[in-house]
Every structure is written in C-alpha cells, then in structure tokens.
Amino acid sequence: MNETIPSDTITTDTITLAHVSDVHLSPLTGLALRHLNVKRGLGYINWRRQRQRVHKRSALDAIVADLKSHQPDHVAVTGDLINLGLPAEYEAATQWLHDLGTPQGVTVVPGNHDIYTTLGSDPGVARWADYMHADAWGAQYSAPGTLQFPFVRRVGPVALIGVNSAVETPPFIAAGEVGDPQLAKLDTLLQRLEADGMIRVVLIHHPPLPGQAPPRRALRDAGPLSRVLAQRGAELVLHGHNHRDSHMDFARLPEVGGGSVPVIGVASGSALHAHGNEPLGRYNLLRIGRSASGVHIECVTRGIEAGGHSVVQIERKLLT
C-alpha cells in the first residue's frame, strides 16, 4: 500500500529508525561436545535440517548494505542475533554489531535464541551490554551502564524503550515472558515519558499482544503487557520473532483518550530461501516525527527480491 505523505508531516523534528530482527547469524560455528544438552542438541538438528538453508550471511550483508545506504539516525535490533547460545556465536554477533554501528547508533534487545540455555559461567548476552542499556539522557529514567530492563535511550524526539522478553525455556518451547518487575517499570516509564512530551517506541522480541503467536512461541504475559499498553499507550511497538511482517493497531482505553498503538513486526533479516510462509530477508525504515497535527510515522519495508540479492521497496504506508 502506497500513500501520499501529508505536507504537514515534514518537520525538522523527525528521525529515521531502521528496524531489523531475527538475523540468526550464520554459519553456525563453535559447537563442541561440552556444549551439548537436550535443547541444544535438538536445536542443532533443526538448524541442520532447515534453518541453515534459509538463513545466509550473504542475504544479511545485502540487507545491511541497503540499510546503511539510507543513513538512518538509529538502528533497532529486536533479538535472535544467534542460534544456539554458543560462545563463538556471541563473539561473532558482537563483531557484527560493531560492523553495524556504534552503541550510540544501535540498540539491541535479546531474543529467545540469544538466551537459549545456560552454559556455565559464560557471559552470554552480557557481551552486548553496550548496546542494551540506558544512554546518558535515559539515565533519568533507568540506570545506565547495566543490563537492567526496561531501559531508555533518546533519538531526537523519540524515546526508545528496550524490554526483555527472552527467558530460558525447555526444549520445543520458544515462549517469552516480561515478568512483573519489568511490567511495573514499563507502566511508570510510559507515563513519565508521555508527560515529558516524548514519542515512545517500545522494542521487544516477542509479539506483545495475545494471539499473535502459537502458545509454544507466544509471550506468556501478553495479557498483562497489553493492559499496560491499553492504559498508558505508546506511539509505536516494534517486535520480531514470527519471521513475518505484521501490523496491528491496538486500541487504547477510551477513558485515557482512546486512539491506538501501532504494533509492527518485521520478518527475518537474513532469509535467502523461502521457508513456509516466511518471506525473504526484510527490514523496515520508520520515519518518525511530530507536526502541528500530532505524531506521524511512515513505515517503508525493504527486502530481497525473489531470485537474487537485490534489495527493493516492498511496501510504504503511514501508521498514524
């Protein structure tokens, strides 16, 4: 769907946010016998049978090159950078993040594959801490320099709110959970940031609303999270996990002003071959700004066209 942008949406108070997710960096390396348990063994079999054919570094490199050519103000990565939680995978993902951008220009929240299964004293996602904590401005809302969720970062008029839905689960389960402490903090953050006039963009790996994923893959506390969003609102929620593009407008409660919250999911950023109904690699460019008539968000989806590595525009639409 293509729409014409109203002239009053062109303001100096506008930023471009790139959103990429579920890159599942390949090739999978560093697996040793000492790393194996039931979940990791089953995950490895699934990778060999299915996912290693789908997720290719060449596709991801093409996506990132196209993303960088558009010079976004910031990049949001909503989880599943890796596959089985191996030390070598975390190291490879750290290098990929460094190549993608600086911690000041890239924000990450973890996915279920990033917090896969415990591996002794290995630091895991703590290697990416520089990309997952409050910046100097966000320190007034959340502690800087620590892996505490939710955290807040500022990009122009936009406050990025990083929420962690990734928890360790049994085999065959890819569910997530935010938890009561994060929900309570998020409730407070959304109120404070609205009072301070910020455009609030929530980043989370799992789809945040009930019914957006099957029970084994869903957010366990999607109900409580959706109630926070209905009560406090947000201008945008970005997620991954489903490996498909999606757009839902979630209604706010009438007693707090009504309106809706756009909830946007993005497909995997590294898919070079079809898998079920999952499209080839994609990412979103979101132009977010404020004008006299309110907040405006334009979403441009770009992705790999069938049969090659060329990245083209798939869709362009106004969210608000």
Long-range contacts of 143-147 (CB under 8 A, 24+ apart): none
Q: Are 216 and 173 in contact (CB under 8 A)?
A: yes
User: Is 27 exposed, middle or buried, given 0-12, 13-18 or 19+ CB atoms closer than 10 A?
Assistant: exposed
**Structural domains of the chain in order of their starting residue, each with its CATH number:** 7-318 (3.60.21.10)
CB 267 within 8 A of CB 243: yes
The pLDDT of residue 143? 75
For residue 185, the model assigns a pLDDT of 97
Q: What is the pLDDT of residue 12?
A: 54
Tokens representing residue 281 in the block: 């690699």
Ranges of residues in the chain whose predicted pLDDT is under 70: 1-12, 145
Instruction: Residue 7: count other Cβ atoms within 10 Å of its Cβ.
Output: 7
164: left (phi over 0), alpha (psi -120 to 50) or beta: beta
Query: Which two structure tokens, joined as six digits, stand for 146?
Result: 């620590």
pLDDT for res 46: 92
The DSSP code sequence of 92-114 is: HHHHHHHHH--TTTEEE---TTT
Alpha carbon distance 156, 223 (integer Å): 31
What pLDDT, on a 0 to 100 scale, did the predictor assign at position 2?
A: 42
Q: What pLDDT score was predicted for residue 9?
A: 41
Q: State percent of the chain over pLDDT 90.
A: 83
DSSP-derived 3-state class of residue 310: coil
DSSP-derived pairing of the beta strands 151-155 and 158-162: antiparallel
Provide the pLDDT for residue 304.
96
Listed residue (54, 110, 55, 113) closest to 84, CA to CA: 113
| Amino acid 84: pLDDT | 95
- Crossing angle for the helix pair 222-232 and 180-195, to the nearest 10 degrees: 10
pLDDT in tens, 213-241: 999 999 999 999 999 999 999 999 999 99
Over residues 305-318, the pLDDT tens digits come to 987 779 999 999 99
